[in-house]
Chains A and B, each alone.
Chain A
């Protein structure tokens, strides 16, 4: 599949005649230059992934009538800014983006921090009930969100937090998935010797966490941050219950767009487009943090 030149060598060196050489190469983790076919496949995948975003931009710059035509339009129009303007008038999208950034950032910071702390404790600290507590945490993942919505709403209402952002932030500050994810990562990526070295060096547990655990956990923290930010940004169910269109998050605001006898697809798409841009920025920023091989050279063997 990759370089043709190396194929004969591979066949010769593959001593076991049962295993086809190509499979061996695939599992061996050998780094070879990508061939044309790889590029074509990757390019196609990229196209398929990017197309919905492009279509959003196209649709956001048309009118309903143009969108309904055959063939559908494939090039964006100059009407984009008009449509965005109409979307901003129909719903407080500016406020919604600010709200969503605040909410998603708080949830992301809270989840990553709490999950890393808890994951570290579950993975590396010895305490009574460690296993049982972890099982309990994982068990909560099996409880459907819908089941907790009504009691949660009653609680929030009693606190008079309805239509306040803390109603959306606080219930999701830590996630069972995040705890489990960080625990799994740290239990295999963080050698015990590193923690013992820090202990002998005189670091307290908290100091060890900041100076040793967090640097090692950074790639996983970045992944968790991306996932959490995306989930928080896209969350609709709980925000539309706890908030109103007076103080919405992006998804709540979008729900109020293009209403009327016929949904105004162009306006909805325009709103969606500006509601998506901040997420793209987060991806670009955090993607760089996921650097592989940071543990290389810490311990031998």
Chain B
């Protein structure tokens, strides 16, 4: 078991004009399950490969435990990796695949057999030990790849989108199994995925990357409740958070002629200099109100384009109209979650209000959260 530390680790690919991973600082605790998540090309796989020793580190360093492994070859790092396409040795049986690393390390034959049998039992692979990879299903191959990592008993597990080749149902099932297995083995794990649902459900903490830069690293709950910037706000949560920018007026932000109340202090800081403010609100924190109801300006009017019925919920995909004052022409798409029975009809105009304390305020220039 060990901690993992990225200390300003940077990777610049030859002939690239910007770093694939830019001064990444990340501290991963002993036994922690950390998920690296982000859109494709954000540098999450590169970060993992740097930790694995498959990618050079151009600046900064990486430590496993107290040991600086920046220049160590993969075999000296005491890590095990699960690849996206499993990378099983095609000519070896499941047993040989799982025991290969131990064989190279010179572990005694009966010890290899014992550890392979143990891992096979955990992963329910006992009946397939003598088969070759091509005679296995996708889920079984995935488990063999996991088994190959487990038998090594490493300090750190590295997983590079291990579920992306499974079908949807198996993916959900395996997701839970991997998370449970990791808790049981209590091995520090770094897990890469582009799927924010996987990230939220599996990780103790989630690190969100974009363009090689770490945006935020926190628990799934905190990422959801307090996104550090508009990118994280839009990336975490499904459907995504609605993020709109509009002119700051007294008491709030003006959207489509109505005023959405924003706490005075946040409004002042976010709009300083520009007179504009960016706000974010999740589909699930919106309420449909009757216009002219109460003293909140009656809610923001939107026109419903599409209604998605999911049974338990309904989602309204609506357009936030242009500002009728004419100085700012601002249309935006807004998603609203509503009760399935009371869902509005297509073409109807509904008025929205954000539930208290559910409004996120961002600086329109820096895109950073304002608290």
Contact = CB atoms under 8 A, between A and B. Distances in A.
Interface residues of A, number: 25
B134 interface: yes
Interface in B90-109: 90-91, 100-101, 104-105
Interface stretch (A12-20, A200-208, A240-248, A279-287): A200-208
A198 B79 CA distance: 13
A139 to B, nearest CB: 26
A297 B101 CA distance: 20
A298 B104 contact: no
Contacts of A293: 134
A296 B87 CA distance: 11
A298 B133 contact: yes
B134 A200 contact: no
Contacts of B101: 200-202
Given A298-B133, A300-B141, A301-B165, A197 B83 contact: yes
Contact of B75 (A200, A216, A301): A200
A188 to B, nearest CB: 15
Contacts of B54: 196, 199-200
Given A200-B54, A202-B105, A300-B138, A211 B100 contact: yes
A295 B87 CA distance: 11
B319 interface: no
Nearest to B136: A297
A300 B165 contact: yes
Nearest to B152: A201
A193 B48 CA distance: 14
B297 interface: no
A297 B138 CA distance: 9
Using C-beta atoms within 8 Å of the partner chain, give the interface range for chain B. 20 to 34
A299 B104 contact: no
A71 to B, nearest CB: 55
Interface string A243-275: 000000000000000000000000000000000
B79 A301 contact: no
A202 B148 CA distance: 13
A170 interface: no
Nearest to A296: B134
A212 B148 CA distance: 16
A293 B54 CA distance: 28
B165 A200 contact: no
A131 to B, nearest CB: 14
Contacts of B75: 199-203
Interface string B30-71: 000000000000000000000011100000000000000000
A213 to B, nearest CB: 11
Q: Which 6 A-B pairs have the closest CB atoms?
A: A297-B134, A202-B75, A297-B133, A298-B90, A299-B85, A193-B87
Interface of A: 191, 193-194, 196-203, 207, 211-212, 215-216, 293-301
6 contacts: A193-B85, A196-B81, A196-B87, A200-B54, A202-B101, A297-B134
